[in-house]
Amino acid sequence: MSAVPKLDTIGEREVDDALKEAHIPSLMAALVHLTGDASLLTDENKPVYDFFGDGQGNIKPEVQEQVRAVVKHAWLDYARGKKLPPPPPHQTIRRMMDFVAGAQIPERYVPFLKEELGIAVEDTRVPRWDSPKLKDAAAKMKVVIVGAGLSGLLSGVRLSQAGVPFEIIEKNPDVGGTWFENAYPGCRVDNPNHMYSFSFEPNHHWPQHFSTQPVLLAYFRRMADKYELRKHIRFETQVTEAVWDEQTSRWHVHVRDKDGKKETLIANAVISAVGQLNQPRIPEFKGREKFKGHAFHTARWRHDVDLTGKRVAVIGTGATAFQVIPEIAPKVAHLDVYQRSAPWLGPTPDYHKDVGEGKKWLLEHIPYYDKWYRFWLFWTLTDGILDGVAVDPSWNDTSKSVSPANDMLRGMLIQAIEAQAPHRPDLIQKVIPDYPFGSKRSVRDNGVYIAALARPNVDLITTGIREITENGIVTEDGMEHPAEVIIYGTGFHASDFLRTYRIVGRDGVELHEKWKGDARAYLGMNIPGFPNFFCIYGPNTNIVVNGSIIFFSEASVRYIVNALKLLAETGAKSMEVRADIHDDFNRRVDEENKKMAWGLPDAKSWYKNQFGRVSQNWPWRLVDYWNATVAPNPDDFTLT
């Protein structure tokens, strides 16, 4: 619940100033909690959002003023000690949801969104293993978690709450995973932070709407401290192999520390939380080894290499390079950017902007404002936009767009790109993607990228790379482009799931040999033949346009902890997903992915594996993952 400040520390002027920064639809919902009065939530006042709008849903200025005035008085009464009315009844919450979203939210979303909103008295995601039987069973368990990134930490939080002993093995010297490793200049999150944070761990003081890597890393470090997770973590230790022992129904997890000391940990279950985007991929360019200057991958940034005044080449224009280029362009003598395909740029004016002090104050002090603001971000940035990237079967030519809505969006995005460099038609022509929006991950644009590409010291090279020489890069047209530093923004071995260690399941089957480069799992977590082994951010749990990976992490961890609870309740020693359930699920995943822009036969991205199968993405809505993962269905498993 929001903190109530002492009135002598805040005057009416400050409240007025803070309210100027309010997201009005969220404030209108918060007002219902303050007063119990929902009479302002009329159809006439209902927000109507548009793509390039300010997010206030075109609510009339006089209504906005009225809302601010009413909230101010209601809040002052509250701060003077007036009690909040009882929580709004279900029907009112329902109305509030539709109102804030500016949409008719289907009924099946309501339980899911209510939980995301977090307005229930009890957090339903906290595991409750209350009975003596469960407590006893929990205490006898041991779980090994691989990785102390955001999902590994979350697993630790939940297992602590369940009373299950666990150990986290982390190869790095600190927590944070991808947010620890990716420390390149310009690195920041591309989901709004008030959504890209754990539902149970809000931060009302995010300095920016899209915070930088050090801020994100600090958030995860604080979380490790607050939940006393560090004592459970072995840092600088690598899991080399996990082997299932049928006799004892235990995993033998082989680890090696930084000094080479080996040890075997015995566990009832393994949670693999190793991420997808942390094994750098550098293409096998001919002659790469001949290059005499410094060359490094963005995820292994060489902070000791000063780029000032150097001739630099950046290969790639994905989400990472897109962030690097504007940062380094002003300091280098010359920058060559090698683009194979252009990213779609999504206009995001507040991408680099600070969160105003007023906004922070509102988030912290107006009861439920933070919840509704998060709800609004969640709805408008997740399932609310998925239809725009679904392939319309009656749409004839899918080379540039996949439906009327997708085509309209394409037109609007192109307009926004063109407006950025009207004097550089040559550049504009190169940066307009030649594939439909949604086929690849789009990026957040506030103008700095095209401004960097338009600089006199920057060249955008779209001719393919033939080879790398001692002194630079030769393109297919035979031109040699000298470089002193080459930066590979060429992505990760994303389809090569869990590639850092061997996993040997039932009958001695090794997981990677079973997968043969085509990783599959049930709900991204369970694999037949690998009992009590759970992946987080496993196959087909990534999203392209809708939502944040934190959502998937929270859903998966709840499911996994409930799976352990199932073992504790039934007394079974192991649970293994049924092969028919797994296969049928994957068949449906493949069918559905083909109906999305990223699943088109011509779409090329890291979402597809070497066989052209989309092995990364969840094709459905978030609500579907939520529903599927509230708890495991015992019928999906063989319990032994």
Site residues for ligand NAP, 218-257, by CB under 6 A, read none
Q: From the CB of 193, what's the least distance to ligand NAP, in Å?
A: 11
Q: Which stretch binds ligand NAP (CB under 6 A): 333-341, 359-367, 454-462, 625-633?
A: 333-341
Residue among 142, 288, 331, 340 that touches ligand NAP (CB under 6 A): 340
Indicate the residue among 45 and 490 with the shorter CB distance to ligand NAP: 490
> For ligand NAP, which is the closer residue by CB, 130 or 284?
284
- Report in angstroms how near the CB of residue 320 gets to ligand NAP at its nearest: 3
Distance CA 280, CA 283 (A): 10
CB of 339 to ligand NAP, least distance (A): 7
Q: Judged by CB under 6 A, does residue 215 bind ligand NAP? A: no
* Cα separations in angstroms, 259 against 124, 266, 572: 42, 21, 38
- Closest residue by Cα to residue 488 from 327, 283, 626: 283
- In the complex, the smallest distance separating the C-beta of residue 153 from ligand NAP, rounded to whole angstroms, is 18
Q: Is the CB of residue 238 less than 8 Å from the CB of residue 255?
A: yes
- By CB under 6 A, name the one of 334, 441, 558, 613 that touches ligand NAP: 441
Measured in whole angstroms, how far is the alpha carbon of residue 269 from the centre of its chain?
25
SS3 of the chain: helix, strand, coil, percent, to 5: 40, 15, 45
Is residue 474 a contact residue for ligand NAP (CB under 6 A)? no
> Is position 389 an interface residue for ligand NAP (rule: CB under 6 A)?
no
Whole-angstrom CA distances from 261 to 167, 238, 405 are: 17, 10, 58
Measured between alpha carbons, how far is 551 from 199 in angstroms, rounded to an integer? 8
DSSP calls for 317-351: -SHHHHHHHHHHTTTSSEEEEE-SSPPPEEE-TTT
Beta-ladder partners of 637: 577
Determine the interface stretch with ligand NAP among 4-12, 153-161, 312-320, 623-631 (rule: CB under 6 A). Answer: 312-320
Q: Of 420 and 490, which CB lies nearer to ligand NAP in the complex structure?
A: 490
Partners of 486 in the β-ladder: 295, 313
Point out which span in 8-16, 160-168, 318-326, 514-522 binds ligand NAP (CB under 6 A). Answer: 318-326
Residue with tokens 């609007």: 412
Q: Which of residues 443-472 bind ligand NAP (CB under 6 A)?
A: 465
Q: Under a CB-based contact definition with an 8 Å cutoff, are residues 15 and 90 in contact?
A: no
Among 199, 320, 401, 532, binds ligand NAP (CB under 6 A): 320
Q: Are 463 and 476 in contact (CB under 8 A)?
A: yes
User: CA 447 to CA 394: how far, in whole Å?
Assistant: 35
277 lies in the binding site for ligand NAP (CB under 6 A): yes
Closest by Cα among 164, 27, 90 to 562: 164
For residue 239, list its beta bridge partners. 255
Nearer CB in complex with ligand NAP: 285/530: 285
What part of residues 476-505 is at the interface with ligand NAP (CB under 6 A)? 489-491
Identified binder of ligand NAP from the candidate list 315, 498, 511, 563, rule CB under 6 A: 315
Query: Which CB atom, from 253 or from 460, has the smaller least distance to ligand NAP?
Result: 460
| 627 counts as binding ligand NAP under rule CB under 6 A | no
Sites for ligand NAP among residues 600-619 (CB under 6 A): 604, 606
Q: Should residue 352 be labelled a site residue for ligand NAP when binding is judged by CB under 6 A?
A: no
The one among 34, 38, 117, 189 contacting ligand NAP by CB under 6 A: 189
CB of 271 to ligand NAP, least distance (A): 22
Q: To the nearest whole angstrom, how small is the minimum distance from the Cβ of residue 551 to ligand NAP? A: 14
Q: Which is nearer to ligand NAP, 18 or 315 (CB)?
A: 315
- CA-derived radius of gyration, the chain: 26
Q: Which stretch binds ligand NAP (CB under 6 A): 73-81, 116-124, 338-346, 449-457?
A: 338-346
CB of 444 to ligand NAP, least distance (A): 8
Closest to 590 measured CA to CA, from 567, 616, 557: 616
The residues, ordered by sequence, that sit 6+ positions from 629 with a Cβ below 8 Å of its Cβ are 523, 555, 556, 558, 559
Identity of the residue, 8 or 602, whose beta carbon is nearer to ligand NAP in the bound complex: 602
Name residue, tokens 């987080």. 536
Judged by CB under 6 A, the residue of 316, 326, 472, 599 near ligand NAP is 316
Nearest to 234 by CA among 253, 251, 213: 253
| Choices 82-90, 152-160, 188-196, 473-481; region in contact with ligand NAP by CB under 6 A | 188-196
Q: State the nearest-atom distance from the C-beta of 71 to ligand NAP, in Å.
A: 33
Give the whole-angstrom CA distance, residue 44 versus residue 379. Answer: 21
Q: Which is nearer to ligand NAP, 490 or 586 (CB)?
A: 490
**Angstrom distance (rounded) from CA 331 to CA 323:** 15
- Does position 318 bind ligand NAP by CB under 6 A? yes
Q: Which residue is nearest to ligand NAP (CB)?
A: 318
- Overall size of the chain counted in residues: 640
Question: In whole angstroms, how close is the CB of 610 to ligand NAP at the nearest point?
Answer: 14
- Smallest distance from the beta carbon of 315 to ligand NAP, in angstroms? 6
Yes or no: say if 518 and 347 are a contact pair by the CB < 8 Å rule.
no
Find the binder of ligand NAP among 33, 188, 410, 608 (CB under 6 A): 188
DSSP, residue by residue, 209-237: SS-BHHHHHHHHHHHHHHTT-GGGEETTE
* 632 forms part of the interface with ligand NAP (CB under 6 A): no
Q: Retrieve residue 55's tokens.
A: 């997010």
Q: Is 283 in the site for ligand NAP (CB under 6 A)?
A: yes
Cβ density class 493-505: b for 16+ within 10 Å, e for less: ebbbbbebbbbbb
Candidates 27-35, 144-152, 311-319, 578-586 — which segment interacts with ligand NAP by CB under 6 A? 311-319
Q: Which of residues 91-150 bind ligand NAP (CB under 6 A)?
A: none
Q: Which is nearer to ligand NAP, 143 or 483 (CB)?
A: 483
Cβ(4)–Cβ(78) below 8 Å: yes
As a whole number of angstroms, the distance between CA 351 and CA 580 comes to 45
Nearer to ligand NAP, 175 or 189 (CB): 189
Nearer to ligand NAP among residue 237 and residue 439 (C-beta) = 439
CA distance 474 to 168: 45
One residue of 14, 174, 190, 241 binding ligand NAP per CB under 6 A: 190
Please identify, using beta-carbon distances, which residue of 284 and 470 lies nearer to ligand NAP: 284
Query: What is the distance between the alpha carbons of residues 33 and 387, in angstroms, rounded to a whole number?
Result: 32
* 179 makes contact with ligand NAP (CB under 6 A): no
DSSP class per residue in 374-388: HHHHHHHHTGGGGGG
Task: Identify the CA nearest to 519 among candidates 468, 584, 586.
Answer: 586
- Say how far apart CA 500 and CA 237 lie, in whole Å: 12
Count interface residues toward ligand NAP (CB under 6 A).
Answer: 23
Residues that bind ligand NAP (CB under 6 A): 188-190, 277, 283, 315-321, 323, 338, 340-341, 441, 465, 489-491, 604, 606
